[in-house]
Amino acid sequence: MTPPPDVLLVTIDTLRADRVGVYGGLPATTPNLDSLARRGVTFMDATAHAPLTAPSHASILTGQYPPRHELRDNGGFVLSPRSRTLAEMLDRRPEEVIRKAVKGMLPRNRLARQQLTKLKVYAGPDHPHAAQQPKPMEMEA
């Protein structure tokens, strides 16, 4: 079985984006964050699901809104045992994480459901498909 991919999630509470180099701040201010951003995926537009840290992180790590994962505040609440975290999903079926992400980006209609049935996601380099071999095409001027 293919091991789950390495994922490093960086979240920082109460930080202005214009103070981070990758988001337009001075690069010398945040060299380590800027280096990580160059080697990974950087989100330029993100919206918090809740105005509190713990519920927002629970939403990030489960893909669920606060009413579903039941973590409502920073203190006195725990994540519902029914909620599966990203780490658990990556450990069990990493390809399912991608399928769910793609499904969430599609409209909720019949065409999207048909397209989703054609999606093929593999949890490693082995798959039954041949890579495309594009060839240059000569054009007359």
Cα angle 82-74-60, degrees, rounded to a multiple of 5: 55
Asked if the model's pLDDT at residue 88 lies above 80, the reply is: yes
Write the single-letter amino acid at 20. V
- Residue written as token pair 């990974």: 40
pLDDT digits (tens, 9 = 90+) for 26-37: 878 899 989 988
Q: What is the pLDDT of residue 56?
A: 92
Write the single-letter amino acid at 76. G
Q: What is the pLDDT of residue 94?
A: 84
Q: What is the pLDDT of residue 58?
A: 92
Q: Please report which confidence band the pLDDT of residue 105 belongs to, taking 50, 70 and 90 as the band edges.
A: confident
Q: Please report which confidence band the pLDDT of residue 1 belongs to, taking 50, 70 and 90 as the band edges.
A: low
CA dihedral 22, 27, 33, 38 (to 10 degrees): 60
Pairwise pLDDT comparison (85 vs 8), residue with the higher score: 85
CA dihedral 95, 53, 30, 9 (to 10 degrees): -10
Asked if the model's pLDDT at residue 2 lies above 70, the reply is: no
Could you tell me how many residues make up the chain?
Answer: 141
Q: Which helix (H) or strand (E) holds 94?
A: helix 94-105
Using alpha carbons, select from 34, 112, 97 the residue that is nearest to residue 63: 97
